[in-house]
Structure 1
């Protein structure tokens, strides 16, 4: 017998339950499976195969109080059962306190799932499939018992099994899946649904699957409001693979389903709605996922709805990002964990854990011969680094807009802007961004642009090199086109630099009018106007 201690709720969702069921399904031919849950209503019965036994730990409205109390209840419940081969626990409430009691009184074979990285465990096997870059393999150093076998990193993520006749990487399904996970207030997705259905025609957008989980709220309200037949509400589906293989775009929380969607080739726009869903964007980028919003709670929801539209319309462009992912999610995670657990039960030599080999991102640029610096045109892989640099205080203080640019606003701009942008790198690391674009004002074509730093280590010579590179580039591409620029009155270095390369302060009324139309929020008391 193998016992699973799991639970689900509106706050924790159902990812823990779904993960446990996948592992249990791989073991059910050899072992009797028992699920211990707080209450039956916390485990949708149709999620679980009928052959699995489900037992309530807290019947008759009693509630969880402590790890020790829960462990002792589980022991009492299982004392009449036959030999217990192993216990699997997947529940944020439990740590080494619960695990020590279970291992002492039921079985030493205990497998714990976690993805937080900061909790101490006492178990035989610890599984954490979260990708944490270089730190993936060291997340639990000093936090486990010495003999613990640690299965860490994306090799142990439970990706869905791919069905080849349904999964076609080259087919554009023209459909969207929207989910908040197993719970959440679905009404916050109403602006998104309306925007997609109102602004995109039926030929371009055929279906929107809205996932209603066991703990979701306001699904009925959405049904009453939205009458468009393209909206299909999927209620309490135990497995979303069928729907993920039928869509081009995933829009939703960054829980388990996001990584399932990535493994199946969906273009993904994600956001965090719980503490355990906060992610380091650099780690997501290694998975080929670049569009994620950590501060979703405070974002403008109408701007987010617009982003969903822009993202959907650019889905094929975004899909290219996944093809160069440094970390691939395969479909063998369940098998790897199952094999390790069965090896433990049999008492065989342990399986050597697989560790993902971290590799640096490959970014190639055209190298300039001076100062050992390189320039390259930016691409979608730069989307987050560009925002980080733009929001540095040294940059924002010299901009016409001094406030920090929110993630959603930046992503909308990124997907729709017409700038030509380049990055200056040193040893593959960005140190400065330069950009320019053209605009017709009163029948006259003008060039305007700018630059901002990406590193504190940049020197005045680097800035001079970047401006020279830009001017040489635009002289070839846009000969005889007038440059217009604004420079903060207090920024003496940039003034001198631009004057060195031929920019002059203007009092020409024609140029001033053009500058005011191009830079529509410019304050003449704070900025000087230049032309070249």
Structure 2
């Protein structure tokens, strides 16, 4: 079976979409499928990283006058005609793109989404997020024949998380990670807050991705403060399991922290994270600090003080995270992939 994944990454978009698609790509490849990625060429795009993982790449135009119709036409010009499935993980692509590409290739369309804010023309749709009444979010947005995979039961877990130990309170460690690009530079705010706080006796792990434009400056600051710097790692699950609490953004890694049982203070760094983060905070599985423009060094200092003085509160947060994701499937093959593999013909 041949599969193409249409997904982007950049300094502005971040890298979370690519990494969750990599989880599917690896499972598909393990089952004998040939997987290709199609990405726009932009600053911070993970093209080299994907090549290092031995995936074929179709490079798409990164021009600023981009729209989904132009993208669909360019995609159809660049791609072979014999793909069975196209997986789409992109907030700016809708049923317009999916219909154009699906008909042009006679391929099936599978969508990964978080927003439920536009129509889709697809056979499968996956939204792993927790929202209040998430079961009804895609009513009237997908065709009647579309099979839905909704909610935390369908969490896309990378291999490193499948056998990870739950977070421990014994190590006195703080984890700082705001995604692969950290577009609002929350990491530096937290470093300033840590310097102003009493953290003697605590270990601090600071993680960045290669898409983070401030990574060199952060590395120097982390070294000056005597903390531990990690860049583009494949052992994040281990760091999470060793941490007492963490600072991070919403999105993919928020669910990973909940799964591990790591209490986290969360800053919303993008509009698409807003509602799900607020709903998870209301559930009690994270502690929301606020929208990034409203969060400064003082707010992070306050969060540190609260974490140091209220251990029971951290335990409550991590228990709620476990409760939220206790139904997450731990099978080697995600049900989304199983459903794709059932289709033997490439006729749409």
What TM-score does the superposition give when structure 1 sets the normalisation length? 0.58
Aligned to 1:320: 316
SS of alignment partner, residue 191 of structure 2: helix
> Shift in Å at residue 278 of structure 1?
0.4
Cα shift readout 1:3-32 (whole Å, capped 9, x = no counterpart): 011101222211110011110000003111
Residue 211 of structure 1 corresponds to: 207
Q: What's the counterpart of residue 410 of structure 1?
A: none
Report the count of equivalent residues. Answer: 339
Shift, 1:282, TM fit:
6.5
The offset of 1:48, in angstroms, is 5.2
Task: State whether structure 2 residue 36 is matched by structure 1 residue 34.
Answer: yes
- The aligned counterpart of 1:115 is 114
Change (3 A) 1:290 1:324: closer
Instruction: Give SS of 2:49's match.
Output: helix
SS of 2:265's equivalent?
A: strand
Q: Tell me, in whole angstroms, the C-alpha distance in 2 between the residues paired with 1:34 and 1:89.
A: 12
| 1:55 matched residue in structure 2 | 58
Aligned ranges for residues 412-431 of structure 1 at < 5 Å?
A: none
Q: TM-score scaled to structure 2, two decimals?
A: 0.86
Is the contact made by 1:21 and 1:48 (CA closer than 8 Å) also made in structure 2?
A: no
Aligned to 1:128: 127
Secondary structure at 1:105's aligned position in 2?
A: helix
1:125 and 1:28 mapped to 2: Cα distance? 19
Provide the C-alpha distance between the structure 2 equivalents of 1:187 and 1:281, rounded to a whole number of angstroms.
Answer: 19
Alignment match of 2:255 (pick from 252, 256, 259): 259
Structure having the higher helix fraction is 2
* Distance in 2 between residues matched to 1:321 and 1:65, nearest whole Å: 42
| Aligned residue runs from structure 1 range 174-185, under 5 A | 174-184=172-182
Cα displacement string for residues 51-73 of structure 1 (whole angstroms, at most 9, x for unaligned residues):
31011012xx6456221221122
Runs of 4+, deviation exceeding 6 Å: none
In angstroms, what is the RMSD of aligned CA positions? 2.7
Q: Cα offset for 1:270?
A: 0.5
Q: 1: distance between equivalents of 2:339 and 2:185?
A: 42
Structure 1, unmatched stretches of 5+, are: 348-532
Question: Once the 2 structures are TM-superposed, how far is the Cα of residue 227 of structure 1 from its aligned partner?
Answer: 4.1
CA contact (8 A) 1:248 1:315 kept: no
Give the alignment of 1:49-448 within 5 angstroms: 50-58=53-61, 62=63, 65-79=66-80, 83-133=82-132, 135-161=133-159, 162=161, 164=163, 167-170=165-168, 172-184=170-182, 188-197=186-195, 199-203=197-201, 205-206=202-203, 208-228=204-224, 230-237=226-233, 240-279=236-275, 283-285=279-281, 288-315=284-311, 317-324=313-320, 326-329=323-326, 330-332=328-330, 335-345=334-344
- 1:194 CA displacement: 3.9
Q: Does the 8 Å contact 2:128/2:152 carry over to 1?
A: yes
When residues 186 and 132 of structure 1 are mapped into structure 2, their CA distance, relative to the original with a 3 A threshold, is closer
How far apart are 1:243 and its partner, in Å?
Answer: 2.2
Deviation of the 1:234 alpha carbon: 1.6
Cα distance change on mapping 1:130 and 1:139 into 2, 3 Å = same
